[in-house]
Chains A and B, each alone.
Chain A
């Protein structure tokens, strides 16, 4: 019997589990997939909102405004990259201006720094923006975070504080008498309190417990991941014609660029589980090129999308269920959920206390979590694409006219900046490779991930069990070539480290096998198989 079971290992579930780890409680988190953070959390933009976007006094405003303020220190504790960028909400039409006036008012009421700026200041902030609006709303507090890593960091930290984290366990039924009894794919799990943080399955989970009344308001987001580019530097936001439609063009914390479109998707959602649609991909390509000339279709690295459920009034739906107070629903989590990560746990603890839970702080609580250490990291290096790529005959002729250039950068010896971020001392890096030579073998060329980091990703607690699991923990395969070079290495290393045949290695979910079988085996089936098998 657990005190508390958290259903769902996404950003919300892991954030709540991590907070519960502070107290003398027995807590279990159940995740139905192979890895945590594999559901709706995959479609998080990585944006940490400023807080002016949310209606004052709503749960969303309360959690996000306080969450934003805590974000930097929160990410430091968890060793996850975060960077404050600021958001620019562009006002091209009167309609947009009216809506943004709401944001100014809300921002002031929420205590968020926000101001109207004129076109000239917009131009100075974003010199490459083609169509400069009359004015724009600027909120400096918004930031970007490595959202794909956050559930893993939170899960690892929760585990370190005694929370049981069970992957590959699906909840099939829930009964409640005095306590809860959960029928799962791995047997019965009993608990006094249940937290439903099941993302898109939240409605289903509540129904299993006999709780109805969750609103089903389906939304959808689609993104293009773009190459490393230096502009824009802010999170550019354009409000659409309907309140649900928003377009954002923004840098990621890893130096890449993303463009995304959020919209309502009515009942089409069932069909479009995680799909992207041709119309939207084309629109995103066109719109981003219309905003900035250098964002051309050849800069697109990848496209992805997914559905989520929003709650009424654009608020989160986080509450103690009316008929069963010990059943807490955490639903209606849209993209702003990420901003609420530092505070949602505290709020849920408060709800649990109201429902009768008694809590006591643990004597030894580990708030720090360390990420996998890299031997070499060069992500800060900006490709000088603008200056180095010759596009016209005139430029080529100019180049031929002049004396050929020598590399101008002046470097006296090797300094730590030669190596980018990471351990500052060359000697330290050398020692790392000396004691563990696999630190000297680069597996992912784009993101400069070494074999040692991949091995660590598999063997650390709550380790990776899939190709995508390694990607999220190390960034291998998340760069420019999108796994073209490293995927085969990752499959080979996963099979070797886990003692699996190559054909059992999966991409993300169960049964998503990368390779079908050994050569000349898959087609030979049934009776003929025996004598056709190679001897």
Chain B
């Protein structure tokens, strides 16, 4: 390991690997990937189901296969990867404080840094489920790791709370290993996972999807013995006489993923409270010049293919920054979610850009006939019809540069809203 690098990449999952490859292809000489696990690839290694790479490679790969393609590229380009290495802190001047069993405690510095630190699972904490705290409560990712990497079954009779993609995939996986999944419980009136997963993972295995339901209590002293569930009415309030118990030995929580923002937060990088990740511009640069971010550490993506594309964007611009650093006096626009929109990426449009703007956004609720409206400083500049849309699938729009009002000395505020067209009449 050297002391100085052109680009330092924190995290060797799909985003970090893509960033490293793109940085190399855009002229960065000395690149290092810092990875806390024993090998590159991140969470992909425990995702042994297929469905990865349809957009990227036009074929359906398993998680480990998808990871392998990038690991091969990294080997081919002789990009240095320091595994079993944790980042403790980012110090001023893009210096990274690391710890590992081999090199001990060390500081390395980079002309540019890419944070690809991924996300973590929401746990029981914020859900406010009462009851006991026995063994047998797992987040879906942990349960997946036990089955797919440890070869051990976390339970025999399972209830899954949350119908996000990992929950759906785990329902099928548990059934295939001989466990009985008694139901997938979803508080909303629709599944927050991809449609194909509802069909392939639940319907094909006759697993009931209990929409408008929630788990309110956990039972059991040593090991889970059951959960109490309740049905909700249209306004999200529990219906009193709909409470019943489901006996089970395991509760799997698939209640959402959150960007792991510990490192950027401790570094003083500005965090967007809508995404939970760092605020970035169209090149994935954070509020600190020369520090870029990408992947699920910025916001939680639906598809790894999108993570890869974003990693490449970050890696390319990190390489450019390493070659010729820039600092903006001020940016061109701030982009903020309006009505019906959970969050937008990027949040900042920096100046000096000739590209048309690509904006990703996630909706707050389901729309049967929605219309996207872009306002610039309160004035409607662009509308975009979007038929059927729901929060489970990200929306991407391209905002032609000529639609924007002429540039001025200060930044504009772009607000993006989604409305039902019926209401617009």
Contact = CB atoms under 8 A, between A and B. Distances in A.
Interface of A: 225, 273-278, 280-282, 285, 297-298, 300-304, 375-376, 378, 381, 383-385, 387-391, 393, 396-397, 399-411, 414, 418-419, 426, 429-430, 433-434, 437-442, 445-446, 448, 480-485, 487-488, 491-492, 502-503, 506-524
Interface centre among A405, A419, A442, A448 (most CB of B within 10 A): A442
Contacts of A430: 104-105
Contacts of A406: 92, 288-289
Going nearest first, the 10 A-B pairs with the smallest beta carbon separation are: A437-B101, A507-B135, A523-B178, A440-B101, A400-B411, A512-B222, A400-B334, A393-B336, A400-B331, A512-B135
Interface string B128-154: 101111111001011001110011111
B205 to A, nearest CB: 14
Contacts of B97: 414, 418
Interface residues of B, number: 85
Given A390-B279, A515-B146, A522-B153, A481 B104 contact: no
A275 B130 contact: yes
Interface stretch (B60-68, B159-167, B264-272, B355-363): B264-272
Nearest to A432: B104
B108 interface: no
Contact of B266 (A376, A383, A434): A383
A376 B329 contact: no
Given A426-B105, A437-B102, A519-B153, A488 B145 contact: yes
Q: Which of B120, B216, B268 has the most CB of A within 10 A?
A: B268
Nearest to A277: B130
Given A409-B92, A515-B153, 6 more contacts: A300-B128, A393-B413, A399-B279, A502-B150, A509-B221, A524-B178
A304 B133 contact: yes
B104 A434 contact: yes
A445 B123 CA distance: 16
A518 B133 contact: no
Interface stretch (B23-31, B83-91, B311-319, B366-374): B83-91
Contacts of B121: 481, 484
Contacts of B179: 522-523
Contacts of A437: 101-102
A123 to B, nearest CB: 27
B415 interface: yes
B287 A405 contact: yes
Contact of A404 (B91, B289, B413): B289
Contacts of A401: 330-331, 410-411
A212 to B, nearest CB: 28
A518 B153 contact: yes
A259 B388 CA distance: 44
Interface centre among B90, B125, B139 (most CB of A within 10 A): B125
A514 B135 contact: yes
Contacts of B420: none
Contacts of B270: 388-390, 399
A481 B222 CA distance: 22
Contacts of B120: 481, 484-485
A225 B62 CA distance: 39
Contacts of B334: 393, 396-397, 399-400
Contacts of B272: 389-390, 396
B347 interface: yes
A404 B415 contact: no
B130 A381 contact: no
Contacts of A411: 91-92
Contacts of A393: 334, 336, 413, 415
Contact of A488 (B150, B156, B266, B415): B150
Contacts of B134: 507, 512
B327 interface: yes
B56 to A, nearest CB: 28
A378 B89 contact: yes
A187 B101 CA distance: 46
Nearest to A399: B270
B86 A445 contact: yes
Contacts of B90: 407
A442 B86 contact: yes
A503 B152 contact: yes
B132 A512 contact: no
Contacts of A484: 120-121, 123, 139, 141-142
B223 interface: yes
